[in-house]
Structure 1
Amino acid sequence: MLAARGSRFHSSAWPSLPLAAGLAASLELLRMALAAVIVLFVVAMMDITLQTYGVILKATTVSREKIALADYHAAVARRDDLTGVANRTAFREQFEERLTTLDASGRCLAIHWLDLDRFKEINDSFGHLAGNALLAGVAHRLDEVFGRRGIVARLGGDEFVVVCEVEHRTDAVAIGEKILDLVERPLHFDGRVLRVTASLGIAIAPTDGSDADTLLKNADLALYRAKDSGRGMLCFYERLMDEKVERSRELAAEMEGALERSEFSLMFQPIFDLAGGRILSCEALLRWTSPDHGTISPAEFIPIAEDSGLIVEIGRWVIREACRIASTWPTDVTVAVNLSPIQLRSANLAMTIVSALATSGLAAERLELEVTESVLLEDITASLAALEAINRLHVRTTLDDFGTGYSSLSYLTKFPFQTLKIDRSFVQDSERNPASVAIVQTVIELAAKLGMRTIAEGIETQAQLDQLRRTRCDAVQGFFLARPMSASMIGTMLADAAPAAVKLR
């Protein structure tokens, strides 16, 4: 348009030039002067027009660049920097837009909210670069499969959401299973193979809500239920789950500052020498008393601590505190501490142990760390390396709950355990089931041949204790012998028992 205006001026100015030429040709001074004025006027007008055109063109270009830059920044502001998929802001906008068109289509909208299981372990074990690579890889897979047909967004941290239109609930299940499969595929990074699973919560509009806030809340509740059910699980929203999930959320929030507020404490349960009745060791048991919820069962709060990643910090405190208290006991009594799967694979575990022993002055041989069979099933290579590192510190290791896994006998030859704990289910069933008696006897004999000590846990009756006396079991533990007690009570008990062994019933 600007060029057209310039050309119109030029076409209107050109007729003035022949007039100037005619005046100049007359050779009369006055007419020649007038011709010169006309020429100068035309030149001046052309220059002004060109300058004006340049200014307007520059202003238009700058305006267009500003609009383009604003559009670019708006797009960037709605894209997740790390993964390139939509961020929380863009997701909310797109999701609400989809909801407005939902009634007209007559279809349903399925919200799949996923959280990577124990993602913090990847960061702790391999570093943030590995964690970022995993997040980017997961986002790319999800976007490649679902990006064109729905919404794929990263809500922050290790949380993602996929929204797709569905006709039936079975469609949402199929999408959820595909998402879990995409997440579980291994990712290669810096010569390592990274593996992770996801928990998935599903809410469907309009069945589970018609507005964005309600639907997102319900999908989040379903996600919490899925995480409670175990890793790699998907769960649909149900109205009855609200109360339980809300409690889990409240406990997770309270646990954030529980260590600083000194809300955790340790109880100790003695482990007795079966032959002589002497206290060989005491197992440290974590307890939590919340100001708002009172005493919380370990079976409830420990999984929450593991999911939130707080178990590493709490576990570090448990090891330090257990070593500190055990340092006041007789030197022939050890202390046993349970390790969670996350602790076992933590890169700082060895440093935590060394620091706790040095600060307390406890001899390394007096610390025993217990792991369950389920820990070993998850990553044999990493678990073996961690246990060997512990043994190099001269700290003893115990295989807890033996008999509940899938390949128990193979563990005895692969892993460097010094002690075997026979699961309470076999001990408690020994009164009724001869097969359990045979299993207990076989495990004890096998452990003895491999040079391992055995502890039978969960003794609750005299008959169970008598049955174990007929075996070569080394030690026993259970409510029938002694219940968990405070550090002061265990100190008094050890002081009283020092001159002579405790007489078992």
Structure 2
Amino acid sequence: MDNETLAKLLEEEYQAVYIINVKEETITLKQTTNYLSKNTTLNKTVPLGDFLEGYLARYIPENKQNQLRLWLKLYHIEGILKANLDSSIIFQKRINGSLRYSEFRVFTLEENDSEVLKCLLVEKDINGILIKERQHQAVYNRMKEEQSKLSTLDTPLLDAKTGLYTQEYVYKVGREKILSNLDITYMFMTVDVEDFKSYNSIAGVHKGDLLINCIADNIRDLLKGRDYAIYGRNYADSFVVMLPYYEFGIKLFITRLLEKIQDYETDLPVKLVFGQYIINDPNEELYLIQDKAVLAANSCKGNIDKHIGLYTTELEEKLSISRMLVKDMEQALENDEFEIYFQPKYNVSTLTINGAEALVRWNYQGKYIISPSVFIPLFEKNGFITRLDYHVWEKVCGYIKDYSIDLPISINISRANMYSVGLQEKILDLVNKYNVDPNQLCLEFTESAYYNDIESMQKILRQLQNKRFVISMDDFGTGYSSLSLLKDIPVNELKIDASFVDFVMEDQRSLIILESIVKMSQKLGLLIAVEGIETEEQLELIQKLGCDTVQGYILNRPMPAIDFFKLLEEEKPQLTE
């Protein structure tokens, strides 16, 4: 057992944790709660035989002692582990005059050449768990006859691919369970594979189907015989599960399903994501409940360490805001509510303005300003970002013409537009329409967007460079193979992300890497821009490294277009020197 597995195991709520030295036939109590008597001593090592007889006499009813004695076989614990026998036993234990159910489990802790040297013995009070399970089972035993009637209805019973229940059947039986047991709170869960489309594309449809059936088989195996639960396949890689909201049971189901999928043999990573919704209103439609569980699941995607998302009122508010913004986005574009802000860029040596980055803010119905961090991710998902991008480009070109701006202006190109047909033609049409020198537009592409199709990107960027546009790789340093990209992708500028600068201030190795990047870029003839500079210390470091351009709050924040033009007028004497 590795340290990580051991640490996770010990996070659970055990009443006692023992270490057994198989060779020396001794046992040591390492962790306990007040479950045991107050005079219990931690880290005290005693012979296995003495421990067992003393434990039996103190806690176990006489007629149950042989059951525990035979299972533990403490003198032959190695044989239990090697023979792969049941590693747990449930037994009755006398606590304060009453009988409660406890569980013993045993794990291999240390071995050498397949010989068990030490093992871990853990004890847990599961009285509440068993009582609740039996209550649920009793309730649903009474429902079996009604469930069998449902199966004769027109609702399709089984999914053809997996053999699980269909979504329609889950809805029907789930509704019956909720309304027949108003004293029980249920949880509805969705289970799906993150980015299954990519898995299917790379591994092939056949292997994708095998994975789907593996998940289905394990869900069925984990829940079979649990009549209080209903489960089925929704579509593709999406499954649904509804069961009583009992935290331990749900956690156990998820943990065991994740363990099963981790053992699934595949060359590609598989991440399961669970969306959870606690049903508090028995009259709420299950299709609406499922939508909310899906929203909760989506909150996990993109986060490698997060598998479970629980629907909350905060997510409800987020969903409401998202719906409102989507509903109003078309009208907002027509009403010119998307306003251009400029953040000045400065020459590192002279600290004079040498350009600006065009950003967008949503002046929602003239009432308040909405940050791009709220609406940009939403528009990237629904595709509206391509139209918003074009709106920003055209506004910038218009400003350059109307205010005779002779400094380079950076505009952002979203991933959706990067691979869209006719990107070059769209931008060329704009610069021709407003009589803008292409060399005045610096086109910023995020580093992460380069990985989809490097060959296509090479072609697109070379075409744009040939038309005299400046190409900048934005957020440099946030991807996984930044340096290797430089030999393949034609760019004029590297824009180093602010998070990288934060590391540099605290870590000498990061500083060495940044110094190397700057020197290498200078040899390649690339400009270095650094964004997100907020302190004097950061600015001094950037100056010392010999970077070319800097932007950040310490010099100037993003500002409305009219304020930027006024700033240019004020600094015009310095700019013309």
**What band does the TM-score fall into relative to the shorter chain?**
0.5 to 0.7
Match of 1:417 among 479, 491, 496: 491
- Does the 8 A contact of 2:389 with 2:413 survive in 1? yes
2:532 equivalent in structure 1: 458
Match of 2:240 among 144, 147, 163: 163
Deviation at 1:454, TM superposition (A): 0.8
2:93 equivalent in structure 1: none
* Structure-2 change in CA distance of 1:474 and 1:279 (3 Å): same
Deviation at 1:479, TM superposition (A): 1.8
Equivalent position amino acid for 1:257 in 2: Q
Match of 1:217 among 279, 283, 288: 288
Equivalent position amino acid for 1:208 in 2: I
Equivalent position amino acid for 2:287 in 1: L
- Does the 8 A contact of 1:420 with 1:453 survive in 2? yes
* Structure-2 change in CA distance of 1:223 and 1:434 (3 Å): same
1:202 equivalent in structure 2: 275
Deviation at 1:289, TM superposition (A): 2.2
- Does the 8 A contact of 1:367 with 1:395 survive in 2? yes
Equivalent position amino acid for 2:548 in 1: D
Question: Separation in 2 of the partners of 1:214 and 1:118?
Answer: 27
Query: What pairs up with 1:332-343 in 2 under 5 angstroms?
Result: 332-343=406-417
1:487 equivalent in structure 2: 561
- Does the 8 A contact of 1:201 with 1:226 survive in 2? yes
Question: Separation in 2 of the partners of 1:441 and 1:350?
Answer: 34
Partner SS for 2:279: coil
Question: Separation in 2 of the partners of 1:395 and 1:423?
Answer: 22
* Structure-2 change in CA distance of 1:179 and 1:458 (3 Å): same
Match of 2:190 among 81, 98, 112: 112
Question: Separation in 1 of the partners of 2:487 and 2:539?
Answer: 29
Spell out, residue by residue over 1:119-170, the C-alpha distance to the aligned partner (whole angstroms, 9 max, x if none). 9xx9xxxxxxxx9xx99x999996998699865456xxxx986435678555
- Does the 8 A contact of 1:219 with 1:237 survive in 2? no
Query: What pairs up with 1:180-195 in 2 under 5 angstroms?
Result: none
Deviation at 1:433, TM superposition (A): 4.8
Question: Separation in 1 of the partners of 2:547 and 2:280?
Answer: 59
Match of 2:469 among 388, 395, 403: 395
Equivalent position amino acid for 1:202 in 2: G
* Structure-2 change in CA distance of 1:222 and 1:110 (3 Å): closer
Spell out, residue by residue over 1:41-87, the C-alpha distance to the aligned partner (whole angstroms, 9 max, x if none). xxxxxxxxxxxxxxxxxxxxxxxxxxxxxxxxxx9x99xxxxx99xx
Question: Separation in 1 of the partners of 2:472 and 2:259?
Answer: 37
Unaligned residue ranges in structure 1 (runs of 5+)? 1-74, 79-83, 123-130, 187-196
Question: Separation in 2 of the partners of 1:274 and 1:332?
Answer: 19
Spell out, residue by residue over 1:399-419, the C-alpha distance to the aligned partner (whole angstroms, 9 max, x if none). 122222221111111111100
Aligned pair 1:367/2:441, yes or no?
A: yes
Question: Separation in 2 of the partners of 1:409 and 1:482?
Answer: 30
* Structure-2 change in CA distance of 1:330 and 1:385 (3 Å): same
* Structure-2 change in CA distance of 1:243 and 1:115 (3 Å): farther
Equivalent position amino acid for 2:385 in 1: I
Spell out, residue by residue over 1:237-285, the C-alpha distance to the aligned partner (whole angstroms, 9 max, x if none). 3445433443333334333432123221011111122234443221001
The structure with the larger Rg is: 1
Partner SS for 1:420: strand
- Does the 8 A contact of 1:198 with 1:231 survive in 2? no
Match of 1:308 among 347, 359, 382: 382
Partner SS for 1:414: coil
Aligned pair 1:477/2:551, yes or no?
A: yes
* Structure-2 change in CA distance of 1:264 and 1:200 (3 Å): farther
- Does the 8 A contact of 2:188 with 2:293 survive in 1? no
Spell out, residue by residue over 1:285-330, the C-alpha distance to the aligned partner (whole angstroms, 9 max, x if none). 1111224972222222211221222211111211221222123455
Residues 369-378 or 302-311, more deviating? 369-378
Partner SS for 1:500: helix
- Does the 8 A contact of 1:225 with 1:245 survive in 2? no
Aligned pair 1:321/2:395, yes or no?
A: yes
Count of aligned residue pairs for this structure pair: 395
Query: What pairs up with 1:66-77 in 2 under 5 angstroms?
Result: none
TM-score computed with the length of structure 2 as normaliser = 0.56
Deviation at 1:501, TM superposition (A): 2.7
- Does the 8 A contact of 1:444 with 1:471 survive in 2? yes
Question: Separation in 1 of the partners of 2:285 and 2:525?
Answer: 59
Match of 2:310 among 212, 233, 237: 237
Q: Whose helix proportion is higher, 1 or 2?
A: 1
2:176 equivalent in structure 1: 100
Question: Separation in 2 of the partners of 1:335 and 1:320?
Answer: 12
With a CA cutoff of 8 Å and minimum separation of 6, indicate the structure with the bigger relative contact order.
1
Question: Separation in 1 of the partners of 2:272 and 2:320?
Answer: 17
Unaligned residue ranges in structure 2 (runs of 5+)? 1-153, 221-230, 244-248
Question: Separation in 1 of the partners of 2:191 and 2:486?
Answer: 40
